[in-house]
Structure 1
Amino acid sequence: MTNQTKMEDILKNPERQDLQDLFEKSLYDPDPDKRKVYNALYTYVLDKRQEELLKQPGFNI
C-alpha cells in the first residue's frame, strides 16, 4: 500500500482511525505538511469521540 493510498483511506473514514496511531504520525512523520494533517485529524477525531461521550445519558461533569 502506498503512502498516498493510506492517506486517502484515512481521509475517507477519519473516525475509524486509531487515535494513538494518528497521534504518533502527527509527531514522527518525516513530512512536516503531513504532520499538520495528522494533527488536524487527531484533533477532529478526538473532538468527535468526546462529543459522543458527553451525549451519553447519565454522563455528568
Structure 2
Amino acid sequence: MSESEDGGSRRGALIGLLVAVVMLGAGLWLAHELTAASKLQDCLMSGRTNCNVIEPAR
C-alpha cells in the first residue's frame, strides 16, 4: 500500500466517526428536549397551572 491510499482510508474513517458523534449529540439533545416537553404537557393535561420548572439555588 502506498502512503496516499492509507491516508485516504483514515480520512474516510475520521469523517465517519465525526458524523456519528454529531448524530449522537443531536440525538441526545433531541431526547432531552422531548422529555422536557412531555413532562410539561403531562403537567398541563392534569389541570395544573403552575408547571414552571423550579431550579434549585446553588
Q: Which has the larger radius of gyration?
A: 2
TM-score between both structures, scaled by the size of structure 2: 0.45
Q: Which has the higher contact order (CA 8 A, sep 6+)?
A: 1
